[in-house]
């Protein structure tokens, strides 16, 4: 049972890292960065805020940087996975 809990925690951590990396990779295409040209460190907090799901308006916060993105499919996917 202990191994199952460790595997579950490792899978959760890997999923968070993979999701953050995928979202970060998607940001620059249509993003407006408040800290343009800067690269955020992997250890900095990463937060996605769905402003308007119908319009696909998303705010990405990574460290001290802020990106605004419009992507209806990504907004819908985030909401699906948050339930």
Per residue in 9-19, pLDDT (tens digit) is 444 443 444 45
Residue 60 pairs in a beta bridge with 48, 67
Per cent of the chain over pLDDT 70 is: 52
Q: Which domain holds residue 56?
A: 2-82
Q: What is the pLDDT of residue 66?
A: 95
Report d(CA 72, CA 56) in Å as an integer. 4
Q: How many domains does the chain have?
A: 1
Neighbours of 4 (CB within 10 A): 8
Per residue in 43-64, pLDDT (tens digit) is 889 999 999 999 999 999 999 8
- Name which of 22-26, 47-51, 78-82 the model is least confident about: 22-26
pTM assigned to the model: 0.51
Q: What is the dihedral of CA 15, 18, 19, 24, to 10 degrees?
A: 160
Which pair of tokens denotes residue 83? 């339930």
């Amino acid at each position: 049972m202990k191994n199952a809990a460790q595997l579950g925690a490792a899978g959760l951590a890997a999923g968070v890292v993979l999701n953050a990396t995928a979202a970060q990779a998607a940001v620059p295409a249509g993003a407006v960065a408040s800290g343009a040209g800067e690269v955020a460190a992997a250890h900095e907090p990463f937060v996605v805020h769905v402003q308007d799901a119908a319009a696909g308006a998303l705010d990405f916060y990574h460290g001290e940087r802020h990106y605004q993105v419009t992507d209806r499919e990504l907004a819908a996917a985030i909401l699906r996975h948050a339930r």
